[in-house]
Structure formats: structure tokens, C-alpha cells
């Protein structure tokens, strides 16, 4: 019964546009994240513990746009957003625009467990992180030349970019997320991101917003990646859950229909979803989505779409 899914972002880049080394490293990171979460589920731990552990692994991996690998804002900072939600009791914790926190997903979980609030932002969230004993690191820990060059490429333009687009027509979303169903049939969803390169004015995306990029209830748990402004306007993650609640449709159909509606608005991206029966789906409307699932000893990791070699 226990099952965990992870994503490491979607993108319009097709096979061959990302180096084999980077792809192999991304697969490795996703496998390690799945295994970390699945081991906890196997030992009887909660879905909340599993999704937090899986996302932490991805936040430590520089390849993904979360935690250590977060993209730069216009001002040259790294401002991170994260959210966790549990399904059986619909508890939630989220943080936005936070700097210096090594594992934003842990801070979101602290908000869920130890705060009367749901969403904390900026310096207030950082104060709460210090109070809760969360680990901080300086700018060197988070810096990578790769991310810095991405900013320099578009800093003088009045535009933002989704993670590591390699050209004007290419978009890539490196946000990370996890959803899990534990041995009790309880569900949890988690999402963590650095947002968009060159973002300004305190921009916050869909990832920390309940119902937009992250959502869980007793019947499903959802984590999304893609152009956040569209996911917010579509209230995408909740839309999927509402389809399951109010329509007689399968999980696969609800996920596909929710994503189709996002596409009709012009949005690009993907999502992972699991239900309380351990069924799952990982649709995307981009060329690829870093993703994986584990329900037995062996993690399964995929990048490209149907018809393309994984
Ligand atoms: N959804 C994220 C945001 O808009 C970006 C991503 O998925 O990479 O902040």
C-alpha cells in the first residue's frame, strides 16, 4: 500500500538539450529522494515524514530549483517558498520569500506542527525558523555559478524565467515536490521552490499557496510544478481534488482534466497526485517532467513523455 511520488520540475526542453551528466545526476537525486521517503513509509512512519524527507534530499541537490539550488531574484538574492499539507486532518504549513534557511520544507512543517498560522512570509518566517532551531547557511552555501549566470542572462530584461531555460522559447521549471500515501492510508503533499529567476517585488508563486501548487485532503494529495501564475489562477491542485469529490471520475481522468484546463488558460507544467487507495498519476503538458514513483523496493524515475525513451 505505501507509495511515494516525487517531481523535480517540468520543462519544454526535449531530449538532447540537457547534458547526459546532468540528466544522470537528476535521476540519481530523484531516486535518492524516493528511497528516503519510501524507507520511512515502510517502517510505518507517516506520509508527512516521508514527503518532508524526500523533499529535503532534493533541496540539498544543486540541480533542482529549491533549497541549495534556488534561482536568483533580480536583486541577486535567493528567496524560497515551500508548503506541506496533510490530508486526513487538512493541516497545512507554508513559508514564502525566505532567505538562508537550508531546508525550507522543514520550516513549512514547523509552521504546520508548531504555529497557529498557515503561511508565514519574509523576515517573520525567518524569525520563526530561528525560534524553532532550523538550520541556516550563508550565501556561499547557496551560491552556484550556474544559477548566477542564468540571472545575468536576463537581468537587464523586464522578464522572469522559469529555472534554467536555455533559449527564449524554452522553459524549465525546477521546483521539487512529493506526495505520499502511508500504511494507514493517510496522505501528504509537499512542494519547495526558489521560484523564478529575476523575480522582483517580492513575487511569490503557486508552490506555497494551498490549493494552487500544493493540496491534500482525505482522498488525494497533489504537488505541482510549472508557471505559477497560471496555477494560482486555475487553483489547480484544489481543482483536481474537487473533480474527485464532485464528479464520478477516475484519478487519471481528474488529473488529466485539471491539467487540460490549465492548458486552456495558457499554462504549462505538470503535477503528481496520489489517492488514499495508493493509485497515482503524474501528467504534464510540457516536453518532460523529472518525476518518479516508488511502491516496492525499486524506485522508478522518468523524465520524458510517452513514446520517448525514459
Ligand atoms: N511553480 C514555480 C513558481 O512559479 C516554478 C516551478 O515550478 O519551477 O514559482
Over residues 229-257, the pLDDT tens digits come to: 999 999 999 999 999 999 999 999 999 99
For residue 255, the surrounding DSSP H or E stretch is helix 251-264
Whole-number pLDDT of residue 166: 44
For residue 42, the surrounding DSSP H or E stretch is helix 20-42
287 lines ligand 1 (CB under 6 A): no
Burial group, residue 21, by CB count within 10 angstroms (0-12, 13-18, 19+): exposed
- The reply to whether the predicted model has a pTM over 0.85 is yes
Nearest CA to ligand 1 atom 8: 173
Ligand 1 pocket mutation pick from 8, 12, 161, 162 by most atoms within 8 angstroms of CB: 162
Over residues 138-188, the pLDDT tens digits come to: 999 999 898 999 899 888 887 666 554 444 445 667 899 999 999 999 999
Tell me the C-alpha distance between 106 and 177, whole Å.
13
Tell me the C-alpha distance between 174 and 195, whole Å.
9
What spacing in Å lies between the alpha carbon of 229 and ligand 1's midpoint? 9
87 lines ligand 1 (CB under 6 A): no
User: Which residue out of 52, 175, 191, 197 is catalytically annotated?
Assistant: 175
Whole-number pLDDT of residue 212: 98
How many residues are there in the chain?
A: 310
Task: Select the more confidently predicted residue: 276 or 307.
Answer: 276
The answer on pLDDT for 116 being more than 50 is yes
Known catalytic residue: 193? no
- Give me the sheet containing 187-193, strands edge to edge: 119-121, 92-98, 80-86, 187-193, 176-181, 3-11, 288-294, 300-304
Place of cell 525567518: 126
Over residues 2-57, the pLDDT tens digits come to: 999 999 999 866 555 677 888 899 999 999 999 999 999 999 999 999 999 999 99
Whole-number pLDDT of residue 168: 42
160 lines ligand 1 (CB under 6 A): no
What spacing in Å lies between the alpha carbon of 248 and ligand 1's midpoint? 30
Tell me the C-alpha distance between 246 and 54, whole Å.
31
What spacing in Å lies between the alpha carbon of 157 and ligand 1's midpoint? 19
Tell me the C-alpha distance between 5 and 154, whole Å.
33
Whole-number pLDDT of residue 164: 40
Question: Among the listed ranges 88-92, 126-130, 142-146, which one has the minimum average pLDDT value?
Answer: 142-146
9 lines ligand 1 (CB under 6 A): yes
Place of cell 484544489: 238
Amino acid at each position: 500500500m505505501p507509495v511515494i511520488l516525487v517531481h523535480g520540475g517540468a520543462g519544454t526542453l526535449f531530449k538532447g538539450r540537457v547534458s547526459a551528466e546532468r540528466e544522470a545526476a537528476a535521476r540519481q537525486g530523484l531516486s535518492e529522494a524516493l528511497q528516503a521517503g519510501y524507507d520511512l513509509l515502510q517502517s510505518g512512519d507517516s506520509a508527512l515524514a516521508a514527503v518532508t524527507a524526500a523533499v529535503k534530499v532534493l533541496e540539498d541537490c544543486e540541480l533542482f530549483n529549491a533549497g541549495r539550488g534556488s534561482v536568483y531574484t533580480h536583486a541577486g538574492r535567493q528567496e524560497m517558498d515551500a508548503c506541506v499539507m496533510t490530508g486526513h486532518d487538512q493541516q497545512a504549513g507554508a513559508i514564502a520569500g525566505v532567505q538562508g534557511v537550508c531546508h525550507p520544507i522543514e520550516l513549512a512543517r514547523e509552521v504546520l506542527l508548531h504555529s497557529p498560522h498557515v503561511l508565514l512570509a519574509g523576515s517573520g518566517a525567518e524569525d520563526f525558523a530561528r525560534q524553532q532551531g532550523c538550520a541556516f547557511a550563508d550565501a556561499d552555501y547557496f551560491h552556484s555559478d550556474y544559477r548566477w549566470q542564468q540571472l545575468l542572462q536576463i537581468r537587464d530584461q523586464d522578464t522572469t524565467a522559469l529555472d534554467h531555460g536555455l533559449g527564449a522559447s524554452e522553459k524549465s521549471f525546477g521546483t521539487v515536490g512529493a506526495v505520499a500515501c502511508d500504511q494507514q492510508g493517510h496522505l501528504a503533499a509537499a512542494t519547495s521552490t526558489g521560484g523564478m529567476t529575476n523575480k522582483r517585488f517580492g513575487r511569490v508563486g503557486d508552490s506555497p499557496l494551498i490549493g494552487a501548487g500544493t493540496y491534500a485532503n482525505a482522498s488525494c494529495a497533489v504537488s505541482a510544478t510549472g508557471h505559477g501564475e497560471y496555477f494560482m489562477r486555475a487553483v489547480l491542485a484544489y481543482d483536481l481534488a474537487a473533480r474527485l469529490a464532485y464528479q464520478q471520475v477516475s484519478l487519471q481522468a481528474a488529473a488529466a482534466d485539471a491539467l487540460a484546463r490549465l492548458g486552456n488558460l495558457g499554462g504549462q507544467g505538470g503535477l503528481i497526485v496520489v489517492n488514499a487507495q495508493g493509485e497515482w498519476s503524474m501528467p504534464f503538458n510540457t516536453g518532460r517532467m523529472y518525476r518518479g514513483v516508488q511502491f516496492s523496493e525499486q524506485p522508478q524515475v522518468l523524465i520524458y513523455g510517452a513514446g520517448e525513451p525514459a
